[in-house]
Amino acid sequence: MSIFQKAETLKPIIAGRVDEIEVARRLPADLAGMMAEQGLFRMMVPKSLGGLELEAAEALAILETIGAADASVGWCLMIGSTTGLCAAYLPHETAHEIYGGATTITGGVFAPMGKAVVEGENYRLNGRWQWASGSANCSWLMGGAVILEDGKPRLLPNGMPDSRMLVFPAGDAELIDSWHVSGLCGTGSGDMAVNDLVVPRARSISLIVDKPVEEGPLYRFPIFGLLALGIAAVMMGNARASIEALTDLAGGKKAPGARKSLAERTSAQAELAKAEAQLRGARAYYYDAVGAAWKAAARGEALDVEARAGLRLAATHATRISADVTRVMYDLGGGSSVFLGNALQRKFRDGHVGTQHVMVAPATYELTGRVFMGLPTDASML
């Protein structure tokens, strides 16, 4: 059975537990374990470590599939998968220590909310990070931290503070139940914190200056770009599910006193068709950008700034179009949409929380627009 078939097999199981996931505000441990046993969290881990190292489009299509079953579960899988990319940047012995287990799940927060003091061959790490999605099911966690030397931030050649991702056993972190939100409720994206934790230097990577030690085309993609693409994949799956929820409702829904069902109303037909075209268009652009970048990476080429900007723009566009589609479906559902038992309200909430991630925020348009204008651009975050 292919990994995609395994994901399809899990889809109805996940869909049958969406209410439980929403109430629990986290991915249930048994479901996370089931996904790990099927290899879903190892989609982007190098083959040299027993991972799947899938083509980018295949891994993203699987995230889209799971996102259609439930956006929160898709989000947790997205975080677990994209943090698996870090294995390609670590020394092989260290990477094997972390990713050697067949059912290992990793997670963490890229934002440099921590501080790491250099102490010989180690760092002393302190910090508290928000948005630690799926952390309750992780074996290892990682947190971004500014590196301090002689009491001051160490600077990169561009003048920015040097920050690194530090990896540590999940048991060394405190998980804080701070996740009380409007959407993506089941991601368990509460805070995590560590206090005076000693982390070997070998268990750290810079997402800005370090180069991967693995040679595969997947690792020629920018990590930030793949993170943004993963977000968009989950959101496209969520939007597709909202269309399906609306069409399921439409055949039997009639407004009070109306003779025609929602499905028979010409205005509803037109709005559905326009939403369908928008989602298909955004999805086609998205996979076109991914496919073009993959061909370049497979030829051994480093992705230039324009290619990286194209990936980020495609991801941001797909995420925001997906949110728009969930709003249209929510509106078409009328009063039925507001009830907690109706999937349309959850798809709407999940889709709009997804747009708030910094990797697909409106500022992305400014960043990519500079590139397309031919202006000097700091592309370290592309």
How are beta strands 152-153 and 122-129 bridged, if at all? Answer: unpaired
Percent of the chain with pLDDT over 70: 98
Residue 338's nearest CA partner among 353, 352, 348 is 348
pTM over 0.85: yes
For residue 357, pLDDT over 80 is answered with yes
Virtual CA dihedral for 93, 111, 182, 319, nearest 10 degrees? Answer: -80
Distance (Å, whole) CA 231 – CA 141:
19
Burial 35-52 (b: 16+ CB within 10 A, else e): bbebbbbbbbbbebbbbb
List, for residues 100-146, the tens digit of each pLDDT value.
Answer: 999 999 999 999 999 999 999 999 999 999 999 999 999 999 999 99
Q: Copy the structure tokens of residue 19.
A: 């209410």
- The arithmetic mean of pLDDT across residues 285-289, rounded, is 98
Alpha helices in 25-159 (DSSP H): 29-37, 56-69, 71-83, 92-99
Residue 378 confidence (pLDDT):
85
Domain range 3-88, CATH class: mainly alpha
Q: What is the pLDDT confidence band of residue 260, given thresholds at 50, 70 and 90?
A: confident
- The arithmetic mean of pLDDT across residues 187-194, rounded, is 98
Alpha helices in the chain (DSSP H): 3-15, 18-24, 29-37, 56-69, 71-83, 92-99, 223-250, 266-298, 305-332, 343-354, 363-372
Residue 115 confidence (pLDDT):
98
Distance (Å, whole) CA 72 – CA 233:
12
Distance (Å, whole) CA 16 – CA 70:
10
C-beta of residue 44 within 8 angstroms of C-beta of residue 38: no
Q: Which residue has the higher pLDDT, 348 or 302?
A: 348
For residue 310, pLDDT over 70 is answered with yes
Residue 257 confidence (pLDDT):
59
Residue 315's nearest CA partner among 222, 227, 232 is 232
List, for residues 151-181, the tens digit of each pLDDT value.
Answer: 899 998 888 899 999 999 999 999 999 999 9
C-beta of residue 315 within 8 angstroms of C-beta of residue 231: yes
Q: What is the pLDDT confidence band of residue 256, given thresholds at 50, 70 and 90?
A: low
Q: Copy the structure tokens of residue 380.
A: 């370290």
Domain ranges (residues) in the chain: 3-88, 107-205, 221-381
Q: Which residue has the higher pLDDT, 257 or 39?
A: 39
Distance (Å, whole) CA 66 – CA 349:
17
Residue 157 confidence (pLDDT):
84
Q: What is the pLDDT confidence band of residue 255, given thresholds at 50, 70 and 90?
A: low
Percent of the chain with pLDDT over 90: 92
How are beta strands 140-149 and 106-119 bridged, if at all? Answer: parallel
Query: Letter for the amino acid at 118?
Result: V
Instruction: Please name the fold of domain 107-205.
Output: Butyryl-CoA Dehydrogenase, subunit A; domain 2 (2.40.110)
CATH code of the domain made up of 221-381:
1.20.140.10
**Could you count the other beta carbons within 10 Å of the beta carbon of residue 336?**
16
List, for residues 196-228, the tens digit of each pLDDT value.
Answer: 999 999 999 998 899 999 999 999 999 999 999
List, for residues 63-87, the tens digit of each pLDDT value.
Answer: 999 999 999 999 999 999 999 999 9
